[in-house]
Copies of this chain bind each other. A is one copy, B any other.
Amino acid sequence: MNLSINRQVRLKERPSGIPQAEHFEIVETSVPSLNDRQILIRNIFLSVEPAMRGWVSSVANYAEPVPLDGVMRALAVGQVVESRDPEFKAGDYVTGMFGWQEYIVADASTIQRKVNADKLPISTSLGVLGLNGMTAYFGLLEVGQPTSGDTVVVSTAAGAVGSCVGQIAKIKQCRTVGITGGPEKIRLCQEAFQYDHAIDYRSEGLDEKLTTTCPNGIDVYFDNTSGAISDTVLKHLNVGARVVICGTASIDSWEPIPLGPRVERHLIVNRARMQGFLIFDYQDRYAEAVDALTEWVEADLIHYREDILEGIEQAPGAIAGLYRGENLGKRLIKIADI
């Protein structure tokens, strides 16, 4: 192991839409030396998120954009190599915003939490027990506020967030309808994620299918897509419905803002609500979500899938692949052995 070299994936050019491989470059630098109270972490899994499109965009956003020539912002899980902070010791597994790079020298505040590697694989700390699971947990329960017997519709139903939303809704005794694309994901929705109904928006009439699968209307719509799928779903809202706006995967670019059918009449007639959601607002309550999700995964009530690419060379093109829907499960990049 050559500790002196640290490969980093940096933002070379700012994309106007979905980031492609050519917007990044891989650069070799050296690992900085440790100062007092610092920790050297070797990253093992890097995360790939749909939200990364927003992180590299210069358009007004909830976070400062990743600077040009900066290391791509990313969650990662890694192992402490050396620690000068008494809270951490060599061998600890830790997760945090460590970026798309092999090594990071950080202080304790950069570390989100220690990961228990005894029960579940450490990769889960980036998926079902990470930002994705917590997004599902708080987005559905706090914003969607499902109650027993509600009909909950999820777009990108087989995705890392969507699949978790569907299963939490099921735990909360809701009827669940998942919308996804293609026969493989439909099978995943039915077999692994236990949706009551799974609709393939590519091959079936979504409007008619929603009529038959949601005869009493939709109480909660957890939306990761925007676009044509949402336009159709909104026609089926029940009185008092809650729409959780979590992501906009189907929109290639927000400059200029694309047009869609106006939502005001749906909202008035149904006294319904659409509400935007951002996981970072729930930082103080992450532990609660991790505990609940861990319990549900261990009890076999929540299943998850992972899509693991090998090698840091895969990182630059990995976001675009997500938006093409080529992954089945949470996309990770494995860059070191455990």
Which A residues are within 8 Å of any B CB, using their own CB?
60-62, 223, 226, 230, 245-248, 251, 254, 256-278, 281
Question: With the chains together, A52 CA to B254 CA distance in Å?
Answer: 36
User: Can you spell out 28 A-B residue pairs with CB atoms less than 8 angstroms apart?
Assistant: A61-B269, A245-B267, A248-B262, A248-B264, A248-B268, A251-B265, A257-B265, A259-B260, A259-B261, A260-B260, A260-B262, A263-B263, A264-B276, A266-B276, A267-B275, A268-B277, A268-B278, A269-B276, A270-B276, A271-B275, A271-B281, A272-B275, A272-B276, A273-B273, A273-B274, A273-B276, A274-B274, A274-B275
Q: How far is the CA of A264 from the CA of B262 in the complex (A)?
A: 11
Using Cβ atoms and an 8 Å threshold, which residues of chain B touch A61? 269
Q: Which 5 A-B pairs have the closest CB atoms?
A: A267-B276, A273-B275, A268-B276, A257-B261, A259-B259
Chain B residues with CB below 8 A from A230, complex form: 264
Nearest chain-B residue to A268 (Cβ)?
B276
Give the distance in Å from the alpha carbon of A266 to the alpha carbon of B59 in the complex.
11
Copies of this protein in the complex: 2
Neighbour of A274 across the interface among B247, B256, B267, CB < 8 A = B267
CA distance A279 to B258 in the complex (A): 32
Instruction: Check A262 against B267 for contact (C-beta < 8 Å).
Output: no
Question: Considering the chains assembled together, what is the distance between the CA atoms of A270 and B263 in angstroms?
Answer: 18
Give the residues in chain B near A246, CB-CB below 8 Å.
268
Nearest CB in chain B to that of A60: its residue: B269
A262:B272 contact, CB within 8 angstroms: no
Contact A265 B254 (CB under 8 A): yes
**Within 8 Å CB of A60, what residues of B?**
269
